[in-house]
Every structure is written in structure tokens, then in C-alpha cells.
Amino acid sequence: MAIERTLSIIKPDAVAKNVIGQIYSRFENAGLKIIAARMIHLSRAEAEGFYAVHRERPFFKDLVDFMVSGPVIVQALEGENAILKHRDLMGATDPKKAEKGTIRADFADSIDANAVHGSDAAETAKVEISYFFPALNIYSR
Ligand code: RTP
Ligand code: MG
């Protein structure tokens, strides 16, 4: 299976809940390596740019308002089948529909405050990783 990279964000609700370490443990236990990481309080422009694919959607303003409501932790993860593996760990977008034992089922409160973001495909992973990390700040082992 291919070694992939994906972009993960621990959103403001999960940072505020003090569960960064618990979420990192789930990545590590699933064989995903953290190869870059930073904490950042996104500006509106940065959040809008990151979620630009959703700018015409009805939930766009709520999404941006939420993403700038507090600091986030952003990381690039690397491992076998990393994109899908990470999405599986996250669970469904709406925590009410997320499978038991997933990050969103365990830590998220609503479809807006849903704890984590993960890239959804190889091409978006590449764009999203470069949005936050220059190549020099990625430490693949
Ligand atoms: P993410 O991009 O954050 O990893 O989440 P996702 O792929 O599971 O969901 P996506 O469709 O990409 O939507 C991005 C974020 O927008 C919010 N959303 N709200 N009210 C709604 O119907 C709705 N749909 C999406 C969620 O917070 C979602 O994470
Ligand atoms: Mg998405």
C-alpha cells in the first residue's frame, strides 16, 4: 500500500477541550507519523482561503466564524493509506452520525464544532499541506 501524506487540523473546540494529546495518540496508535505541526489562530482571510472550495455553500460563514474562534493545531501526517486511514479515525462530518470510537463521536459537539479536519483526497492533501507548511518544515522519517 502507498505511503501517503494528509493534512489534519485539530479545530478550536477540541483545542479548548484540552484533548490534543488524546487525538495525537489516536494518530500514533494507527501508525500515522506527525511530520510537521504548528499551533495557529487563523485570521479570517486564512480560514476563508483554506476552505475556499466551500465558499458558495450555505454553511461557509458559520464554518469560517468557527475556525477563527480560537487557536487550532495543524499537522501533516504520513503513513500507509494515510488519507483514508485518517478519515476513518475522524468519523462522519456530523458527530451524531459518526461511528462509535471515532474522534468526532467521542469529542465533537455538532456539525460545526466537529473537532477535526482531514484532507479528502491526494490532490487536496498536497494543496492543504503546502498551505501551512513549506517543504523545509516537513520532517519525514
Ligand atoms: P473537514 O473538511 O472539516 O474535514 O470536514 P468534512 O470533509 O467531513 O466536511 P466538508 O463537507 O468538507 O465540510 C467542511 C466543514 O463544514 C462544516 N459543514 N457544515 N451545516 C452543514 O450542513 C455543514 N456541512 C459541512 C463542517 O464543520 C465540516 O467539517
Ligand atoms: Mg472536507
Question: Does the Cβ of 63 fall within 6 Å of ligand 1?
Answer: yes
Q: What does R_g of the chain's alpha carbons equal in angstroms? A: 14
131 vs 24: CA distance, rounded Å: 21
CA distance 8 to 11: 9
C-beta of 127 in contact with ligand 1 (< 6 A): no
118 lines ligand 1 (CB under 6 A): yes
Can you tell me the distance from the alpha carbon of 81 to that of 85, in angstroms, rounded to the nearest whole number?
Answer: 6
Nearest CA to ligand 1 atom 20: 59
- The protein residue with its alpha carbon nearest to ligand 1, atom 4, reads 117
- What does residue 117 show for φ and ψ, rounded to 5 degrees? -120, 150
pLDDT tens across 66-94, in order? Answer: 999 999 999 999 999 999 999 999 999 99
Q: Is the pLDDT of residue 33 over 90?
A: yes
The reported pLDDT for the residue numbered 10 is 99
Q: Kindly report, residue by residue over 93-140, the tens digit of the pLDDT.
A: 999 999 999 999 999 999 999 999 999 999 999 999 999 999 999 999
Q: What is the largest CA-CA distance in the chain?
A: 41
- Residue 108 contacts by C-beta under 8 Å, 6 or more apart in sequence? 13, 14, 95, 98, 114, 115, 116
Positions marked active-site: 117
pTM over 0.95? The answer is yes
Above 0.90 for ipTM, yes or no?
yes
If we measure between CA atoms, which residue out of 42, 34, 30 comes closest to residue 8? 34
Q: How far out from the chain centre does Cα 87 lie?
A: 9
What is the mean pLDDT of the segment spanning 26-55?
98
State CA 9 to chain mean position distance: 3
